[in-house]
Amino acid sequence: MIHSTAIVDSSASLAGDVEVGPYSIIGAGVEIDSGCRIAPHVVIRGPIKIGKNNQIFQFSSLGEVPQDLKYKGEDTQVIIGDDNIIRESVTINRGTAEGEGVTVVGDHNLLMAYTHVAHDCHIGHHTVFANSSSLAGHVRVGDYAVLGGFTLVHQFTEIGEHSFSGMGSAINRDVPPYMTVAGNYAMAYGINKTGLKRRGFSQSTIRALHKAYRVMIKSHLPREEATSQLKDLIEDHPEVERFVSFILSSTRGVVR
């Protein structure tokens, strides 16, 4: 299952059915669980833990040292979950000591070609990163978020679950859950209605989120007054409660 031209460090731990293609390099401290397929010309450096059934395509670089001048060789790592598709030339860097020391990618994510995940980022589950999306350091991306091609995300920014960014977006503030943003710099364009419908959200919930969006994002009311207007919706819809609490807890400010 390991091509004769591949180089696998003696300290690496690979499950018996892991495939490693020609000219790939698996370094020290790498752990790869069962069902994974490593294409040709992939470089994986440890410490890194890769879960089950991941497909890693050619020219990807996983576990390389962070692109941070403050990094001085500290023992940091990458953790990747199960069932991810990591396409051509994706780069995922290790964490830093000043961060949490770890970069995390969850389960069932699609990282298209040339995606970059910088140090200390945390990606949830079922996300889609279209081609050339890039996360600066310390970014958090919630479950089911979709980043359009060439989306750029500023460091320490949080992208809420079920949100969507348009092609070429430059995101420098937090993106609340369930919302659509686009532009350079990104602006709010409403609730991600299409995505929510596809994922089975009820019309009642989508309408409630749309009202919450108008009150919290479009109206520019003081936070206390806006929250008061949404009291009933917050009580009836946990999604609205999540939307409002995200905005209230944001330290960077949210896209408007």
Quick one: pLDDT at residue 123? 98
CB 66, CB 76: distance < 8 Å: yes
DSSP symbols for 215-250: IIIIS---HHHHHHHTHHHHHH-HHHHHHHHHHHH-
Q: Where in the chain is the domain with CATH 1.20.1180?
A: 196-249
**Helix 203-213 and helix 238-249: axis angle, to 10°?**
30
Q: Measured between alpha carbons, how far is 56 from 47 in angstroms, rounded to an integer? A: 17
- pLDDT tens, N- to C-terminus, the chain (256 residues): 899 999 999 999 999 999 999 999 999 999 999 999 999 999 999 999 999 999 999 999 999 999 999 999 999 999 999 999 999 999 999 999 989 999 999 999 999 999 999 999 999 999 999 999 999 999 999 999 999 999 999 999 999 999 999 999 999 999 999 999 999 999 999 999 999 999 999 999 999 999 999 999 999 889 889 999 999 999 999 999 999 999 999 999 999 9
Considering the domain delimited by 7-141, tell me its CATH architecture: 3 Solenoid (2.160)
- 196-249 to CATH, choices 1.10.4160, 1.20.1180, 3.30.450, 1.10.3470: 1.20.1180
Query: How would you label 184-214 residue by residue, b for 16+ Cβ within 10 Å and e otherwise?
Result: eebebbebbbebbeeeebeeebbebbebbbe
Say which residues have a Cβ less than 8 Å from residue 90's Cβ, sequence separation at least 6.
56, 57, 60, 61, 62, 111, 113, 114, 115, 116, 117
Q: Where in the chain is the domain with CATH 2.160.10.10?
A: 7-141
The catalytic residues are 119-120, 137
Burial class (CB in 10 A: 0-12, 13-18, 19+), 157: buried
Q: Could you tell me which of 192, 167, 106 has the C-alpha nearest to residue 142?
A: 106
**What is the model's pTM?**
0.95
CB 63, CB 91: distance < 8 Å: no
